[in-house]
Amino acid sequence: MDEGSNGSILSSIRNLFRKSDSPLEEHFRDAVEEGEINSEDVRILQNVIDLEDKRVSEIMTPRPDIICAEVDSAIGEVAELIVQHGHSRIPVYEDNRDHIVGVVHAKDVLSPLLTPQSPQATLADLMRPPHFVPETTNLRTLLRDLQSTRIHMAIVLDEYGGTAGLVTLEDVLEQIVGEIGDEHDVLRPEEVQEMPDGTMLVSGRVPLDEFNELFDLELVSDQVETIGGYFCELAGRIPAKGETFTMGGWRFLVEEADAKHIETVRAVRVAEED
């Protein structure tokens, strides 16, 4: 796809529906009912259209979660970070996280590690210049920007020029097609845990059908596949820690959430009169 093709796809979709005043969703619904398009494709189209209304700050990995290295770190220390956390791009800072001065890729640290006898490169030699974006950038602009610069990671700046977080191409693509895992993503074996007090801790990644089975519910969605996604859909945003949803004799409390996901929900049985 070239730089302008996102824009032209969007305008074609808009032109297609310009003739009438009814909302795009209605056209999509009709098109699905008439069998012209399937609901999965509609979900993706809607997500593409919504890119313009979402900001980088809504999807970025926030500053405290950034795995980064100080510019004077040894190459071996950076390799350890890569192995330990499974990220292939490591931002490099000088003094503190507000001064990101580069990004080093796992592939760039391999060669000096394999040839320790040759003069040792420093991190500053290996890193590439960081690419910065303001946190208010919308995702459509970000996607075009990452495509045209052929860069996969951007450092997100707050209004004072400090580091607010980082965002990668994968974060943006996930907004269109849903979760994209890779071989290094951490698998969570304990998706559901029964606690001694009778409550249950449930990962936000548990698929909706498994959740229904577990709590004898009939939650359905054609937008999301996980229970975390379902509660976000219900709330129309990412619910904050402590928010609750009551249904089918259970109260579900958001136990852990960040700017992007519900991590864990605690299920508590409620008394009949609740």
Q: Which residues bind ligand ADP (CB under 6 A)?
A: 61, 65-67, 86-91, 152, 166-168, 170-171, 182, 184
Give the residue with the Cβ less far from ligand ADP, 82 or 202.
82
Smallest distance from ligand ADP to CB 104, Å: 10
Give the residue with the Cβ less far from ligand ADP, 103 or 265.
103
Residue given tokens 């074609």 in the structure block: 12
Which residue has its beta carbon closest to ligand ADP? 168
Smallest distance from ligand ADP to CB 39, Å: 26
Smallest distance from ligand ADP to CB 26, Å: 34
Secondary structure (H, E, C), 129-158: CCCEEECCCEHHHHHHHHHHHCCCEEEEEC
Smallest distance from ligand ADP to CB 184, Å: 6
Give the residue with the Cβ less far from ligand ADP, 74 or 195.
74
Smallest distance from ligand ADP to CB 103, Å: 8
Query: How are beta strands 200-203 and 192-194 bridged, if at all?
Result: antiparallel
On whether the CB atoms of residues 219 and 211 are closer than 8 A, the answer is yes
Smallest distance from ligand ADP to CB 80, Å: 13
Give the residue with the Cβ less far from ligand ADP, 167 or 206.
167
Give the residue with the Cβ less far from ligand ADP, 80 or 170.
170
With residue 193 as reference, give the H or E element that holds it. strand 192-194
Give the residue with the Cβ less far from ligand ADP, 31 or 60.
60
Q: What is the C-alpha to C-alpha distance for residues 52 and 118, in angstroms, rounded to an integer?
A: 49
On whether the CB atoms of residues 238 and 60 are closer than 8 A, the answer is no
What are residue 264's DSSP bridge partners? Answer: 203, 256
Residue given tokens 């136990």 in the structure block: 255
Helices (H), 86-130: 106-114, 123-126
